[in-house]
Amino acid sequence: MATGLTAYLDSIRARDPAPHSRLEVLTYPGVWALAWHRVAHRLYKSRLFFLARLVNHLSRMLTAIDIHPGATIGRNFFIDHGFVVIGETAEIGNDVTIYQCVTLGGTSPDNGIAGKRHPTLADGVIIGSGAQVLGPIFVGPRSRVGANAVVTKDVPEGAVMVGIPARATMVEGTAAPSRFLPYGTSCSEMFDPATQKMELMRCELETMRKRLDALLAENAADGDRERDRA
């Protein structure tokens, strides 16, 4: 158990340069929120739903992080800072990092349909601050969601998502990065907010060009067929 805790604390230090020791990491609200969630999740799996909710309520008061007892969370999960909400049917893989004010939200409950309502995050995902990941979607391995993005559709493996609604940038993320990239995106000029908008416009322009070429080719084919009939 001590070895597992040490490895967990070291995984956080590898992603956050601020702490000077493992003891300092133990003061992080995200660490305590995860510890309380492990207890609540065991109670939930044992169908002790009220006790699980009680532990969840206590954890939320102490850490400002709300993780539903039903959520499934893998190894080395790191919430940097707090004010995070994670829904009941959310599934989180290993080595996932989430920054402050993120919501892993569900679909509207007013239709009375139960089942999977919240997202699944694969291994190595990074969710930037303020991002909203909504619905029973799949966020692929090593993908990154930029700050304040709103994700409502599946995210491919290694993609870098920005915007509202979130769309993939022109930067490929399929290769494993040589170092940890905080906040979901690199700090290079390619991810400056001004250039992000330009990249999205370029993507849309390229898509429109492809559609125009397809329409022109279709019209040309129709013209050839009309001449053949004549």
pLDDT band at 82; cut points 50, 70, 90: confident
| pLDDT (tens digit per residue) in 123-160 | 999 999 999 999 999 999 999 999 899 999 999 998 88
Q: What pLDDT was estimated at residue 216?
A: 86
pLDDT of residue 191 exceeding 60: no
In the numeric block, the tokens 């029973």 are attached to: 136
Residue 37 in contact with residue 73, Cβ under 8 Å?
A: yes
- 16-30, 72-86, 95-109, 175-189 — which is least confidently predicted? 175-189
Please report, rounded to a whole number, the percentage of residues in the chain having pLDDT higher than 70: 80
Task: Note the pTM of the prediction, 2 decimals.
Answer: 0.73
- 29-33, 35-39, 217-221 — which is least confidently predicted? 217-221
Distance CA 90, CA 172 (A): 26
What does the domain layout of the chain look like in residue ranges? 2-185, 192-230
Instruction: Report, as an integer, the average pLDDT of 8-12.
Output: 91
- Up-side HSE of residue 76: CA atoms within 13 Å toward CB? 21
Identify the H or E element spanning 161: strand 160-162
Pick the CATH number of 2-185 from 3.40.50.300, 3.90.550.10, 2.160.10.10, 2.60.40.10: 2.160.10.10
Got the DSSP string for 26-66?
A: TT-HHHHHHHHHHHHHHHHHTT-HHHHHHHHHHHHHHHS-E
Distance CA 217, CA 125 (A): 41
